[in-house]
Chain A
Amino acid sequence: MAKKSLEVEAEVEVEDEGDAAQFKMPVDSDHKATEFWLFSFAKPHMRAFHLSWFSFFCCFVSSFAAPPLLPVIRDNLSLTTTDIGNAGIASVSGAVFARLAMGTACDLVGPRLASASLILITTPAVYCSSLIDSATGFLLVRFFTGFSLATFVSTQFWMSSMFSPPKVGLANGVAGGWGNMGGGATQLIMPLVYELIKKIGSTNFIAWRIAFFIPGVMQTCSAIAVLMFGQDMPDGNYNKLHKAGEKHKDNFSEVFKHAVTNYRGWILALTYGYCFGVELTIDNIIAQYFYDRFGVNISKAGTIAASFGLENIVSRPGGGLFSDYLSKFFGMRGRLWGLWVVQTLGGIFCVILGRTNSLAGSIVVLLLFSLFCQAACGLTFGVVPFVSRRSLGLISGMGGGGGNVGAVLTQLIFFHNSKYSTEDGIFYMGIMILVCTLPIALIHFPQWGGMLCGPKPGYTPEDYYQSEWSHHEQQKGYHTASLRFAENSVREGGRSARGSGHSKHTVPVETSPTDV
């Protein structure tokens, strides 16, 4: 059926009075790009990609600008370990709810206005970071700056509006990974800027304050660029009621019910907390760790810390690609096993990191830890799109929010006060990763199976996705999108289930934010 619809689309395209010809890139009937040209700025698709990943990148740079400069800031403000821990928790807790709210905002005003507004509203917090003189001030600026991490949702939403299903996974993965990279880049940028300003003649306590203007200006400029050059959808901006997917016509309380009663969404929220949440935690603590434990200077500590975040350039997209690859041979069971193995390896390297006593060894372990931790993030969102079709946006939001909750919890338990040394905190965090990754074994899709058990015989994807709609709603035909999705996800049964599988699509046909 998918092939037929493609043929129909092709005919429609030809008859479309050259509508598609206005786009530099090949598009489908929705005018969403069917290809992904990484090094192009073709309007509006690739332009939207670059605007969205870069503005998200700038938000990460600002949110994690303080950690690499903590050795200076903590003396200027006379901070204690508890103060620093609290601020670290604050920096990631704002986005827990902001991510859920951002999805709604995108629905209402479009990703362009929603993301640019959030970015411009949080930029004053970045500039005012240069004015703080107490632990409370430090906590407040980190808290408000951290709200900007909700632009993750608008990034994914925007990519889903611009890219056709076969490419939306890749677009989401690269945009997410390259944005997350900001958490690494900032550990290089901030010390560099700080040292430069000191060289020009400033004292340390003045230099770090001036340094904060760099992420602030980056953020302001990226938001203005989004407003000036960005476009919500291929055909124009968000001034129509037309939105992708039937979710807008849907009843919010039904969507909510089907999201919160699906245990798989909760398990994935927990496990995402122990890959993405751990990533955020490390962004907050690792520069100080290297500075204090191994006595390297601020710039060196920043460089080492940066290597962790910068691996996102390949590791997160790589995780997503690996998930798709496993699915080709083993279907959903492959995706689940891949996620468990990769995230467990991340946990193992975290445990080793906490027990490594040499600088060189720590760097090597950190690089390996980063690879598996971030790949697990990509693999998580290889599974999320299949948990629910009706409540896809909210399930994705739960996953994303869960990531931040994991960061809050981990920092609260292990890095908040002087109870554990940082190396012990890292060791125990690794153990916690191993434990909290085990629940993946409990995820079972009756139509495809789970890690430990095979599928229920005779149960089809149609049955699964249709069960989210009541008989009454099915009679009205509200569930047709879910049915199309079910047909296209036949491939998730693995090679044995392929049989008549005619869909070459690697990701769900219908859109809504597939990755958060």
Chain B
Amino acid sequence: MAGLRLSKITIALLLLLLIVCHVGPSMAVLFNQLPKTLIVTATTKSGDVLHAGEDKFTVTWALNTSLPSGADANYKTVKVLLCYAPISQHDRKWRKSNNDLKKDKTCQFTVVKQDYSATGKHEYTVARDIPTASYFVRAYALDASDTKVAFGQTTDANKTVNIFEVVGITGRTTGIFVSAIVFSAFSGLALAFFYVVENKKKK
């Protein structure tokens, strides 16, 4: 009766699920197939500590001159990103590197995105929403359809050299500090007040 109807509905739903649950593969851009044609350097040195919102550094990128001419024919834009070093990716699945660049979470902050030229540089003030972590800088060359076609980075393949640190803002403003204390005290006082009233009522 009710049980049979329930199982019929369940089967129908399961069939619907099978139709809906599909994985749609798309043309994946793989990192290990990207040519490293850009030379990227930054004014930060290994072990430098930068404060979010205050400190700046300059990043410079240039096409590797030893490449045959025309290698950058399809480069239309350059996108420079701040990327997590392995030590900051440890035990943090949301920062994991993935060869499939669609799923890659290594580089989450854009430093600059501009039209491509064979050389370029940009002075960047570390944004206030950059978290405390260790970083390196990577630049991607994008073609007209915004697909990554080449890259360069300030560190080596193992991401161990030229790693610098950013100290993010804490977010604890004085206003928040005072408010938390005041509201907490108010809660305690309210409780005490009502207990006193209760005791008085008892008598």
Binary per-residue interface labels of chain A (57-88) against chain B in the complex, 1 for a CB within 8 Å, 0 otherwise: 00000000000000100111011111000000
Check B20 for interface membership: any CB of A closer than 8 A: yes
Q: Known pairs A82-B91, A361-B20. 14 more at Cβ < 8 A?
A: A76-B168, A78-B88, A124-B183, A124-B187, A127-B179, A127-B187, A133-B170, A223-B190, A341-B3, A355-B21, A356-B21, A357-B21, A358-B22, A364-B13
Check A213 for interface membership: any CB of B closer than 8 A: yes
Check B133 for interface membership: any CB of A closer than 8 A: yes
Cα A123 to Cα B180 with chains together (Å): 10
Interface size class of A (residues with CB under 8 A): 35 or more
Contact residues of A with B, CB < 8 Å?
Answer: 71, 74-76, 78-82, 113, 116-117, 120-121, 123-124, 127-128, 130-131, 133, 203-206, 208-210, 213, 216-217, 220, 223-224, 227, 239, 288, 291-292, 341, 345, 352, 355-358, 360-361, 364-365, 368, 417-418, 421-422
B186 touches A220 (CB 8 A): yes
Given A216-B183, A358-B21, A80 contacting B202 (CB threshold 8 A)? no
Cα A361 to Cα B172 with chains together (Å): 40
Cα A42 to Cα B22 with chains together (Å): 52
Given A120-B188, A213-B179, A220-B186, A74 contacting B94 (CB threshold 8 A)? yes
B184 touches A71 (CB 8 A): no
Which B residues touch A288, using CB under 8 A?
Answer: 94
A203 and chain B: residue at smallest CB distance: B128
Binary per-residue interface labels of chain B (106-117) against chain A in the complex, 1 for a CB within 8 Å, 0 otherwise: 000000000000
B38, chain A: closest CB distance, angstroms: 27
Q: Which of B20, B129, B132, B187 contacts A123 (CB 8 A)?
A: B187
Given A204-B129, A418-B91, A130 contacting B180 (CB threshold 8 A)? yes
Main secondary structure on A side of the interface with B: helix
Cα A117 to Cα B194 with chains together (Å): 10
Check B23 for interface membership: any CB of A closer than 8 A: yes
B183 touches A81 (CB 8 A): no
B91 touches A131 (CB 8 A): no
A311, chain B: closest CB distance, angstroms: 15
B170 touches A117 (CB 8 A): no
B171 touches A78 (CB 8 A): no
A239, chain B: closest CB distance, angstroms: 6
Check B200 for interface membership: any CB of A closer than 8 A: no
Contact residues of B with A, CB < 8 Å?
Answer: 3, 10, 13-14, 16-17, 20-24, 88, 90-94, 128-129, 131-133, 168-173, 176-177, 179-180, 183-184, 186-188, 190-191, 194, 198, 201-202
Q: Which of B14, B91, B201 contacts A81 (CB 8 A)?
A: B91
Q: Which of B17, B172, B202 contacts A133 (CB 8 A)?
A: B172
Cα A82 to Cα B22 with chains together (Å): 31
B187 touches A220 (CB 8 A): yes
Given A71-B94, A80-B92, A124-B187, A356 contacting B176 (CB threshold 8 A)? no
Given A76-B171, A80-B91, A209-B172, A124 contacting B184 (CB threshold 8 A)? yes
B28, chain A: closest CB distance, angstroms: 15
A331, chain B: closest CB distance, angstroms: 16
A31, chain B: closest CB distance, angstroms: 20
29 of the cross-chain contacts (CB-CB < 8 Å) are A74-B92, A76-B170, A80-B90, A80-B91, A80-B92, A81-B92, A120-B191, A121-B187, A127-B180, A127-B187, A128-B184, A205-B170, A206-B176, A209-B171, A209-B176, A213-B183, A217-B183, A223-B187, A224-B190, A224-B194, A227-B194, A288-B94, A292-B94, A357-B23, A358-B22, A358-B24, A361-B21, A421-B93, A422-B93
Closest 8 CB pairs of A and B: A205-B171, A124-B184, A75-B131, A80-B91, A361-B21, A120-B191, A361-B20, A123-B187
B73, chain A: closest CB distance, angstroms: 32
A371, chain B: closest CB distance, angstroms: 11
Cα A123 to Cα B171 with chains together (Å): 21
Which B residues touch A128, using CB under 8 A?
Answer: 180, 184
Given A130-B180, A133-B172, A205-B169, A364 contacting B129 (CB threshold 8 A)? no
Q: Which of A121, A239, A361 contacts B17 (CB 8 A)?
A: A361
B176 touches A210 (CB 8 A): yes
B198 and chain A: residue at smallest CB distance: A113
Which A residues touch B24, using CB under 8 A?
Answer: 358
